[in-house]
Amino acid sequence: MARFLRASINRYCFLFEYIKAQTGLKYSLPETIVMATALRGLRFSYDSSLITREPVLWGDRWTSTQRTRPREGEPQAVEVQREGLGLGKFDWNTWRFASEVGDRLAVGNDLLRQDYKRQWRVLKDIRDVHVRMWQAQSWAGRYQVHENVVARRLWLEYLHSTAIELFQRDVWRAALKSTKWKTGSDVTGEAMIRHPESSPPAFCYDGLSDLFHDRQRDIDHTRPHLVTGNKLRSTNVIDLFDDLFSPGSADTSMKRRRGWSSLPFRIATRRSIELVEMTLGSTKATQWYAQLRRIVLLTHWILPWPSDTELLTTTKESRAANLKRRLTWASVIHVGPSAESTGFSEPSVPTRKVDDTDLRISTQDDLSQALSEVCRYRFGDRGWTDSADNISCRYHWSTRDLVRSTRDRISLDALQLGRAVEPFKKGWIFPVAEAGRPPQLRMVGRIRDRTLDELDRTFCRVTYRKPVRWFQDP
């Protein structure tokens, strides 16, 4: 009897201690559910008469027991041996409850519900990214990515694509919050319908040029508000990227992001760096982050402009001065070495005329032309015309190919914040944006809104079969 009690108690103690050892300073909701269930299970382990009540732990659906017979004896023993603890509701690959089971357990548990009900959506997003990273960690061992070249390439691409897909979702979710402003939304109603949270627009001027209100000038379906000030939080686009993505934990960095440091895309970036370092080494992890920087800057020509408390900061609002609150974005442009510069201190601001006086903006196609040349080299002259072809799936890029094809042709040092000053209006800085469409990443759209099972089946299929199957709908 003593051996039986010890084995039963240790089963739940081991589950609790194992999950606790994998957590950081903060626990995600899926981890909390597992640990709480393990602790609750201790009371069912005191003697054998309580074993029949153990299924109460896994009660995520409560149905009538009338006209049902309990399963006992050999059939139940076979099911327990096949499914293990939790009878199929627990995923032993990720050491988490199945997604829908975890939701029902959390909602039905008063203790968890009272703690989390106000932030359930935020915690659900954090839960999802932690589970996805746990799944990616299991793939690293299952498919031996340190030895299997094909699996390694797909695994690294999946980590890049996951961070970018979550980034797009988090940014657009922050933009849609403006629809709840009491003084009026910055995003149009049509934009909210056309691009819900799960389907963000292309982050470029062409993709965002008619999705906003300019309430101060009473203009509908207009461009986003682009940062032009001379006192900037980030002095160049590389600093802006690091401000958004860098997992640095220094005190100054944490203060700069105290309002958005734990967004899903930042968790995915940090965990991806940790996974790559743990699996392939620190040099590869540094390289992975540098590649992420190049990929993001070449595929997102409009980026959010953050503040200490918000991922997407806003301008001031004043009824007396007729100032209306607007979301603030940053434009990424390609600047050649011959660009004329003013006497401004860093960063330098080129001199040029305003192309569109109504919208107070100038556009150029330097980056679009540079990438079109890369695309012609990659896909061939035959069939490729201009950046509009980026929408076609056959011209979508893998992250590896995009990095390798642009590495020697487009320098990140040539990318700058899109600003210019008129030659005859000293000090008046206006925004400059790149026209056209940026390259599309083939995996980002394919992993969006996929379940863990769909991702697992797809990764298994493409690792052992033709890689092209990854880009087809399951």
CA angle (273, 275, 277) in 5-degree steps: 65
DSSP class of 261:
T
What value does the mean pLDDT of the chain take? Answer: 78
pLDDT at residue number 48: 56
Query: 102: which residues sit within 8 A by CB, 6+ positions away?
Result: 29, 30, 33, 96, 127
pLDDT over 70 (residue 81): no
Task: Look at 24-28, 114-118, 362-366, 385-389 and tell me which has the smallest mean pLDDT.
Answer: 114-118
CB 214 within 8 A of CB 327: no
Please write the tens of the pLDDT for every residue from 158-184: 999 999 999 999 999 999 998 888 888
Cα distance between residue 319 and residue 342, in whole Å: 35
Task: Return phi, psi of residue 441, to 5°.
Answer: -90, 130
H/E/C letters for each residue in 211-237?
A: CEEECCCCEEEECCEECCCCCCCCCCH
Give the DSSP per-residue string, 109-168.
-HHHHHHHGGGHHHHHHHHHHHHHHHHHHHHHHHTTTTT-HHHHHHHHHHHHHHHHHHHH
> What's this model's pTM, rounded to 2 decimal places?
0.75
Q: Where are the beta strands (DSSP E) in 12-116?
A: 90-91, 96-97
For residue 111, give the nearest of 7, 190, 33, 54 by alpha carbon: 33
The H or E element that residue 10 is part of is: helix 2-22
Max mean pLDDT among 91-95, 351-355, 435-439 falls in 435-439
Residue 76: other Cβ atoms inside 10 A: 12
Pairing of strands 429-434, 362-364: parallel
Name the pLDDT band for 8 (thresholds 50, 70, 90). low
In the chain, helix, strand, coil percent, each to 5? 55, 10, 35
Output the CA angle 275-281-287, nearest 5 degrees.
Answer: 85
Structure tokens at 77: 């023993």
Strands 415-417, 328-334: pairing is: antiparallel
Higher pLDDT residue, 80 or 128? 128
Long-range contacts of 14-17 (CB under 8 A, 24+ apart): 15/41, 15/85
Could you give the CA distance from residue 474 to residue 471 in angstroms, rounded to a whole number? 9
Task: Locate the domains of the chain by residue range.
Answer: 2-61+73-122, 143-466
Q: What's the pLDDT at 122?
A: 52
* ∠ Cα 437 212 215 (to 5°): 150
The beta-strand segments (E) located in 56-103 are 90-91, 96-97
Identify the helix (H) or strand (E) that includes residue 332. strand 328-334
User: What's the CA gap between 336 and 404, in Å, rounded?
Assistant: 21
Give 253-302 pLDDT, tens digit per residue.
545 777 788 899 999 999 999 999 999 999 999 999 999 999 999 999 99
Per-residue pLDDT band for 347 (boundaries 50, 70, 90) equals low
Q: Is 421 helix (H, G, I), strand (E, B) or coil?
A: strand
In angstroms, rounded to a whole number, what is the distance separating the alpha carbons of residues 163 and 171?
Answer: 12
Length of the chain: 474
C-alpha atoms less than 13 angstroms from C-alpha of 380 in its C-beta half-sphere:
3
- Taking only the tens place, the pLDDT of each residue in 16-30 is 888 887 776 566 667
User: For residue 115, which amino acid is it?
Assistant: D
Strand 219-222, strand 225-226: pairing: unpaired
Distances (CA, A) of 323 to 138, 315, 317, 318, 357: 52, 9, 5, 5, 20
Report the candidate in 371, 470, 344, 350 with the shortest Cα–Cα distance to residue 417.
350
The span from the CA of 366 to the CA of 370, in Å, is: 6
- pLDDT, average across residues 110-136: 61
8 A C-beta contact, residue 128 and residue 117: no
Per-residue model confidence (pLDDT) at position 473: 43
Question: What is the amino acid identity at position 71?
Answer: R
Question: DSSP code of 148?
Answer: -
More confident residue, 122 or 42: 42
State the Rg of the chain over Cα: 26
Q: What are phi and psi of 78, to 5 degrees?
A: -65, -40
Q: How far apart are CA 272 and CA 275, in angstroms?
A: 5
Backbone torsion region of residue 87, taken as left when φ is above 0, otherwise alpha when ψ lies between -120 and 50, otherwise beta: left
User: Which tokens is 265 given?
Assistant: 């895309």
30/342 Cα distance (integer angstroms) = 54
